[in-house]
Homo-oligomer: A and B are copies of this chain.
Amino acid sequence: MAQESPTFSPLYRQIRGLLTQALQSGEWRPGEAIPSETELAQRFNVSQGTVRKAIDEMAADNLLVRKQGKGTFVATHHDPRAFFRFLRLAPINGTIETSQSVPLECWRARAGQEVARMLDIEVGSQIIIVRRLLKFAGKPVVIDEIYLRGDLFPGLNLEVLKEQQGSLYSFFETRFGVRMVRAEERLRAVAADRQSAEYLEVSDGSPLLSVERVAYTYDDKPVEWRRGLCSTADHYYLNTLN
């Protein structure tokens, strides 16, 4: 094996690359089992332990999920345990609440400078803009404006959005084969504009939590840019620092 500096990449990381490629190509779809470690070891001509280390890393990054005695599975946003991975809002008092996504608008447009930069696409490329309201226990909590790469979500419109069950990312995954893998959020406190205040049923100028997010798919390609305005009267944004 060629293992020279400074291009040195350990074997298990190369295996991880091959596995990621297979995921990206759709060889194994979200929720499905991937071959056993022994099979993969034969396929890639390495020892089982090397495959194991590659899978360990990918499981740590939430790309795969191991289940003892059953196999290793492609991670999916359908899993209810993974639901709050990308939704860090929790009620201040009380337990888990049911959430509901209410799509308001959906239209196609051309990317301006800012969106183009965020999604790493050309200015003028087609994008999709979605506005939706997120409710917890029936009460409006977040108003989202979502910008998507137009080429990856063919046929997406308001009617289609209304079919959504579960999380939006779960919907994107099954309906368009686009799986969100990682995201970066930038939080600020802002004053509510008139329209947002109306939707969120708070008074004009109330402090709201602004959450800007860029979400990436397998190859670190940005796919979604969104800005959410959250009413933090009854909810907070939870973050754990390790």
Q: Which residues of A contact B (CB under 8 A)?
A: 60-62, 85-86, 88, 182-191, 206-210, 212, 230, 232, 236-242
Select A236's contact among B188, B191, B240, beta carbons within 8 Å.
B188
Give the shortest distance, in Å, between A22 (CB) and chain B (any CB).
Answer: 20
Question: Which secondary structure characterizes the binding site on chain A?
Answer: strand
Evaluate contact between B184 and A240: CB separation under 8 angstroms: yes
Known contacts A190-B207, A207-B207, A185 near B241 by CB under 8 Å: yes
Evaluate contact between A182 and B232: CB separation under 8 angstroms: no
User: In the assembled complex, which residues on chain B have CB atoms less than 8 Å from the CB atom of A85?
Assistant: 241-242
11 A-B interface contacts by CB (under 8 A): A61-B242, A62-B242, A88-B241, A187-B232, A189-B189, A189-B208, A189-B210, A190-B207, A191-B206, A191-B207, A212-B236
- Number of this chain's copies in the assembly equals 2
Residue of A88, A188, A212, A237 with most partner-chain B CB within 10 A: A188
Evaluate contact between A182 and B240: CB separation under 8 angstroms: yes
Give the shortest distance, in Å, between A66 (CB) and chain B (any CB).
Answer: 15
Complex: chain B residue closest to A185, CB-CB? B239
Evaluate contact between B187 and A241: CB separation under 8 angstroms: no
Evaluate contact between B189 and A207: CB separation under 8 angstroms: yes
